[in-house]
């Protein structure tokens, strides 16, 4: 998957002769093999589940295989299910896991914020071995930690807009019809005129309700915007809150904090080379 993502990202850079270069070097053929391998792995998982189904749905794969459309009665075919799974891996797992890594890094640098979040988890999630679904939305401090993490390190680094007609942006930048403009989210999310002079600092209380209402809606867009905004936003928040709360409840996390954070981009942003020591509470 990582190899395929790297290949796709490079295809977005308009370099003359790239297609010929990829063909000659075998990179295009390697990309096709990567895709075939991913298809084969997921197809095997689906076939195993179809051959030995659970009596009651236990996970998302069960639901996709067993749930019929309420209007037509049709079920998703195996190829469609495979494509949905790969979409979750590429567009969901990749971004959510990177956001959790950034969150743990930031909490390690700010232990007081980590203790605030942990105290909330301990208060809401007592002796139960699993947290009830309705309790997840009550983990508001944990949610603010994730919001502030995505402000400083949006794992999807930006989105594009195409000019419908010739225009001038901000009275300074002439843009021709059809020209693409990239909105770089780290610049948007750290604009001092919106976020204050401490915009580069990790402060989750920026996302207290009164402060959110006081900001313009376009100042924070980690999931994109408009009709092509991330369709999995609520799913991602739910799983990230649940995962981070589980880690905070069960473990102390100690990260070897580097002098500067090394971040790489492979469609998404992710911290590079972080090493973590985990001990059970």
For the stretch 177-214, pLDDT in tens is 999 999 999 999 999 999 999 999 999 999 999 999 99
**Any idea which of 69-83, 121-135, 165-179, 242-256 has the lowest mean pLDDT?**
121-135
> What whole-number percentage of the chain has pLDDT above 70?
98
The DSSP-derived string for 10-25 is HHTS--TTHHHHHHHH
Average pLDDT of the chain? Answer: 91
In this prediction, residue 249 carries a pLDDT of 92
* pLDDT 10s digits, 119-158: 999 998 877 666 778 888 999 999 999 999 999 999 989 9
| Assessment of whether the complete model's pTM goes beyond 0.75 | yes
pLDDT band per the 50, 70, 90 thresholds, residue 2: confident
| Cα atoms in the Cβ-side hemisphere of radius 13 Å centred on 41 | 10
Hey, which residues are catalytic here?
A: 95, 223, 230
pLDDT of residue 8: 82
For strand 268-271 and strand 263-266, is the pairing parallel, antiparallel, or unpaired?
antiparallel
- The reply to whether CATH 1.10.630.10 applies to domain 113-280 is yes
Q: Could you tell me the residue ranges of all domains in the chain?
A: 113-280
Q: Give the span between the Cα atoms of 272 and 254, in whole angstroms.
A: 16
Average pLDDT, integer, range 43-64: 93
Q: Which residues of 135-158 are buried (b: 16+ CB within 10 A; e: fewer)?
A: ebebbebbbbbbbbbbbbbbbbbb
């Amino acid at each position: 998957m990582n190899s395929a993502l790297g290949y796709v990202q490079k295809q977005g850079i308009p370099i003359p002769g790239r297609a010929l270069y990829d063909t000659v070097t075998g990179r295009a053929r390697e990309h096709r093999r990567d895709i075939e391998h991913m298809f084969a792995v997921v197809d095997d998982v689906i076939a195993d589940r179809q051959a030995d189904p659970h009596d009651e749905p236990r996970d998302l794969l069960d639901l996709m295989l067993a749930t019929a459309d309420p209007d037509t009665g049709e079920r998703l075919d195996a190829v469609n299910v495979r494509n949905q799974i790969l979409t979750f891996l590429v567009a969901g797992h990749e971004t959510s896991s990177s956001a959790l890594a950034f969150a743990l890094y930031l909490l390690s640098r700010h232990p007081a914020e980590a203790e605030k979040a942990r105290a909330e988890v301990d208060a809401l999630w007592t002796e139960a071995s699993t947290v009830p679904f309705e309790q997840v939305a009550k983990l508001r401090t944990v949610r603010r930690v994730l919001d502030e993490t995505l402000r400083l390190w949006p794992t999807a680094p930006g989105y594009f807009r195409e000019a419908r007609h010739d225009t001038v942006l901000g009275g300074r930048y002439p843009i021709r019809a059809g020209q693409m403009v990239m909105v770089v989210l780290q610049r948007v999310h750290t604009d001092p005129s919106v976020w204050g002079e401490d915009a580069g600092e990790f402060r989750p209380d920026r996302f207290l309700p009164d402060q959110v209402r006081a900001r313009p809606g376009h100042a924070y867009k980690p999931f994109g915007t408009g009709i092509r905004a991330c369709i999995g936003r609520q799913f991602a928040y739910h799983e990230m809150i649940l995962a981070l709360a589980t880690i905070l409840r069960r473990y102390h996390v100690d990260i070897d904090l580097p002098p500067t954070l090394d971040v790489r981009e492979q469609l998404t942003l992710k911290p590079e080379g972080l090493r973590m020591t985990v001990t059970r509470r």
